[in-house]
Chain A
Amino acid sequence: MFFKLENLYSGYGHVPVICGIDLEVVRGEVAIILGRNGVGKTTLMKTIIGLLPRTSGEIIFNDLPISDLPVYSRACLGLAYVPQGRGIFPDLTVEENLRMGEGINIAAKTRPYTEVFTYFPRLKERLRQKGGTLSGGEQQMLALGRALIGDPRLLLLDEPSEGIQPNIVGEIGAVLAHLNEEKNLTILLVEQNIEYALSISRSCHMMNKGKIVARVAHDELHNVETIKKYLAI
């Protein structure tokens, strides 16, 4: 079993946000969870990485139940999380931010700096600059680059398209597609931007009110009626 959520519940205090999610991600897959604002996408991601404790249910990663492990242990096992808002260390240089990624997946044999600089040459030009001085798009590249330095087994992305220029959104989408096809990187991504989701995956899981309500194939996603039905727009 590579990655699986079993009847997962979580939330803030007594307010349940994730209400029984079952989901399996196969190795080498790009799994996308599509949902509007406020359906619990970020809460789900935080629960998977461990920043939020689960209320009940189980998270399986590489045949191992991980829901009682602290965040840093999950990272060491190879889960890389790119949060919404990027989470760049503002007073660390770009180079230091990237080096922080080496703490992810301690079993990794290589740290792919060359590849990251090929994908995002701008990071190489700004190595000595403080992370906080980068533009939003550059910070997104840095956040993704940092996660990739970890050579992760599973990449968790929380709305990578949010708040950045369309051309950079495209650039990042192309890198993700390349990583999946060439390097067989497994990706779990939550989004509300349908166009973006369509550009990198053949199917999507629809999320509403803390639950996965359907799995929809690529061609169906072009059908506005289907989307309206599942996303309750």
Chain B
Amino acid sequence: MSTVFSVSYIFADSAAFLLLSALGLIIILGMMGITNMAHGEFMMLGAYTTAIATHAGLPFGLSVLSSMLTMGAFGIIIEMLVIRRFYGNLLQSLVVTWGLSLVISQGMLIILGPSIPSLPMPMGGFSVGGKVYAAYRVFLPVISILVVAAMGLLLFKTRFGMKARATMQNPEIAQVMGVNTKAMYMFTFGLGSALTGLAGALYAPTTVLGPLYGANFLAPAFVTVVVSGGTNIIVGALMAAGILGLVDGIFNYWFGAVIGRLALLTATMFVIRFFPSGLSRWLANRRSV
């Protein structure tokens, strides 16, 4: 019983980590074809905002919310100043967002130094079968499901979501149907940034806060994106995080964290080898047969 709980705990924690850290990246890539190399730095800014707000006396929950809003606004500004000049140009957008990541991380190093005071883990712990677990690590998967559900509702049940999907499929014809695609891209980039900020904020209490905070998330986030593929953002992200989280959970429990991470990367290689355009494309092709 406690083994089952332990493995589920690691699985849920790992899947939530993958899902949350990748969601903003997947939305920006899926909706506008921009691979945001500054993704990790956006997460760092989200974490910093939360830490600073919390230390200033704001309750943790509100700090997280405030960093989501701040990063949404930040994303919109970055889109207007930089990103909108590079749509449809994969290589240039890679270089420019990479440059952006350097500017943000080095800028933070200059302004706030190599680290800022970290945050205590909220919520305390509980024990199952003699082992102690962090309640916050159970709370994160719940939040990740809620966030994905909210994204699903936004994309598939609202008029805005319909226009966003139409823009993703054929921007020219979306304009012909009265959609201001420029504003749509700006808003979607803001949304992706807000989700990235949220993820950064939520994981702020789990580790040290420095300018390179985002580096912890970058590889897992990109792995999740590659495995999910860009066809159906929501389903793809859920499948990728679920499968990779399961692999990580099982191997992590019996063989330790290093083997767990190795198994995760091996699983990714298998997926890329057998489903080169990602799980969501494979699923879409199967459905249409």
- Does residue A184 face the partner (Cβ distance < 8 Å to B)? no
CA distance A83 to B175 in the complex (A): 12
What is the total number of residues of chain B having a CB less than 8 Å from a CB of chain A? Answer: 20
Majority secondary structure of chain B interface residues (helix, strand, loop or mixed): helix
Residues of A within 8 A of B173 (CB): 83, 87, 89
- Shortest Cβ gap from B158 to chain A (Å): 12
Minimal Cβ-Cβ distance residue in A for B162: A96
Name the residue among B159, B162, B231, B288 with the largest chain A CB count within 10 angstroms.
B162
CB distance B176 to A89 under 8 Å?
no
- Does residue A12 face the partner (Cβ distance < 8 Å to B)? no
Known: A72-B180, A72-B181, A133-B288. A91 touches B175 (CB 8 A): no
Bitwise interface map of A from 93 to 125 toward B, beta carbon under 8 Å scored 1, else 0: 000100111011010000000000000000000
CB distance A89 to B169 under 8 Å?
yes
CB distance A100 to B170 under 8 Å?
no
CA distance A233 to B173 in the complex (A): 33
Bitwise interface map of B from 28 to 66 toward A, beta carbon under 8 Å scored 1, else 0: 000000000000000000000000000000000000000
Tell me which residues from 45 to 96 in chain A have a Cβ below 8 Å from any Cβ of chain B: 49-51, 70-72, 75-76, 80-81, 83, 87, 89-92, 96
- Does residue B84 face the partner (Cβ distance < 8 Å to A)? no
CB distance B166 to A92 under 8 Å?
yes
- Shortest Cβ gap from A86 to chain B (Å): 9
CA distance A87 to B177 in the complex (A): 11
Known: A91-B165, A96-B162, A100-B163. A49 touches B170 (CB 8 A): no
Known: A72-B180, A87-B170. A92 touches B165 (CB 8 A): yes
Interchain CB contact (< 8 A) of A106 among B159, B172, B176, B178:
B178
- Shortest Cβ gap from B271 to chain A (Å): 22
Interchain CB contact (< 8 A) of A100 among B162, B172, B180, B181:
B162
CB distance A89 to B166 under 8 Å?
yes
Known: A71-B175, A133-B288. A89 touches B165 (CB 8 A): yes
CA distance A50 to B177 in the complex (A): 12
- Does residue B138 face the partner (Cβ distance < 8 Å to A)? no
CB distance A72 to B162 under 8 Å?
no
Interface size class of A (residues with CB under 8 A): 20 to 34
- Does residue B179 face the partner (Cβ distance < 8 Å to A)? yes
Residues of A within 8 A of B288 (CB): 130, 132-133
CA distance A83 to B179 in the complex (A): 16
Residues of B within 8 A of A70 (CB): 175, 180, 182
CA distance A15 to B177 in the complex (A): 28
CB distance B179 to A103 under 8 Å?
yes
CA distance A104 to B174 in the complex (A): 11
CB distance A87 to B169 under 8 Å?
no
- Shortest Cβ gap from B99 to chain A (Å): 30
Residues of A within 8 A of B177 (CB): 75, 100-101, 103-104, 146, 150
CA distance A91 to B181 in the complex (A): 18
Minimal Cβ-Cβ distance residue in B for A100: B177
Residues of A within 8 A of B181 (CB): 72
CB distance B169 to A76 under 8 Å?
no
Tell me which residues from 169 to 203 in chain B have a Cβ below 8 Å from any Cβ of chain A: 169-170, 172-182
Name the residue among B166, B176, B180, B231 with the largest chain A CB count within 10 angstroms.
B176
Which 6 A/B pairs are nearest by Cβ-Cβ distance? A103-B178, A71-B175, A87-B173, A75-B178, A100-B177, A103-B177
Residue contacts A-B, CB under 8 angstroms, 17 given:
A71-B172, A72-B179, A75-B176, A80-B176, A83-B176, A87-B172, A89-B165, A89-B174, A91-B165, A92-B162, A100-B163, A100-B166, A100-B174, A100-B177, A103-B179, A104-B177, A150-B178
